[in-house]
Amino acid sequence: AQTVTQSQPEMSVQEAETVTLSCTYDTSENNYYLFWYKQPPSRQMILVIRQEAYKQQNATENRFSVNFQKAAKSFSLKISDSQLGDTAMYFCAFLSTDTDKLIFGTGTRLQVFP
């Protein structure tokens, strides 16, 4: 069975600085997708970024980028130029192309300080 591990329960960063959130996963599949979702205090789950396992190039979305290491089964999220609005829970998630099931990590609570 697939598992997703986020080893940092809480992180903090000063506004305008850069922070990296860690995620590792375990799977025997070769084709899959990885996602980072953001859950602000409103509790709405918002898709931040997506990575297809077959793509070697790391995904980027404006200030958000990932470091995808397929052999190491690692998928970290880098937030550059952090903003107060980035304060939220961040969940790493694995999507199996076989089952279409999304498996979540336990989340990292990020606090951005002014």
Partner 1 sequence: DGGITQSPKYLFRKEGQNVTLSCEQNLNHDAMYWYRQDPGQGLRLIYYSQIVNDFQKGDIAEGYSVSREKKESFPLTVTSAQKNPTAFYLCASSIGGAQTYEQYFGPGTRLTVT
Which residues form the interface with partner 1 (CB under 8 A)?
4, 33, 35, 37, 42-47, 50, 91, 93, 95, 97, 100-102, 104-107
State the minimum distance, in angstroms, from the CB of residue 6 to partner 1: 8
Write a three-state SS string for 28-63: CCCCEEEEEEEECCCCCCEEEEEEECCCCCCCEECC
Contacts of 71 (CB under 8 A, 6+ apart): none
Give the nearer residue to partner 1 in terms of CB position, either 5 or 69.
5
State the minimum distance, in angstroms, from the CB of residue 83 to partner 1: 22
Give the nearer residue to partner 1 in terms of CB position, either 43 or 114.
43
State the minimum distance, in angstroms, from the CB of residue 97 to partner 1: 5
Say if strands 88-96 and 102-104 run parallel, antiparallel, or are unpaired: antiparallel
Give the nearer residue to partner 1 in terms of CB position, either 75 or 91.
91
State the minimum distance, in angstroms, from the CB of residue 30 to partner 1: 14
> How far is the C-alpha of 71 from the C-alpha of 73, rounded, in Å?
5
Question: Buried b / exposed e across 56-74, counting CB within 10 Å, b at 16+?
Answer: eeebeeeebbbebeeeebe
Give the nearer residue to partner 1 in terms of CB position, either 37 or 75.
37
